[in-house]
Homo-oligomer: A and B are copies of this chain.
Amino acid sequence: MSVKKAEANLPKPGAPVRGSASGQPIMVLFDLIGRRWSMGVLWNLSDGNRTFRDLQERCGSASPSVLNTRLKELRAAGLIYNAKDGYALTEDGRQLFERLEPLGDWAMHWVEKLR
């Protein structure tokens, strides 16, 4: 397997980020997880480790370039790591997921009302 390089373009706390000039923590987070596939990756890792290609399938065949970019960013953010049997949530990643999880139930009610 490759050894990889290339910087992860992490939003920086305190500095202007993509999505906010203020650099407030919540906006830094929104910047990061608002990027395509970010939340989907966290969601799909919540119930077990997944390989790169496994994640690709589960994320609606995301293009490998973007997926890899997201994985780099999430690793740099300390939310996931590359374990022996695939990618996995870190403790922080799991904490974040726990705070995203309530959106799942709410989303089901929401889409019902949309119809």
Chain A positions near chain B (C-beta within 8 angstroms): 10, 13, 16, 18-22, 25-30, 33-40, 43, 59-61, 77-78, 92, 95-96, 99-100, 102-104, 106-108, 110-111, 113-115
| Copies in the assembly, this chain | 2
Q: Assuming the A-B contacts A37-B19, A102-B99, A106-B96, are A25 and B60 also in contact, with contact meaning beta carbons closer than 8 angstroms in the complex?
A: no
Distance (whole angstroms) from the CB of A63 to the closest CB of chain B: 12
Q: Is the CB of A103 within 8 A of B13?
A: no
Instruction: Collect the chain B residues with CB atoms within 8 Å of residue A34's CB.
Output: 33-36, 38-39
| Residue in B40, B102, B103, B111 whose beta carbon sits within 8 Å of that of A20 in the complex | B40
Q: Is the CB of A111 within 8 A of B13?
A: yes
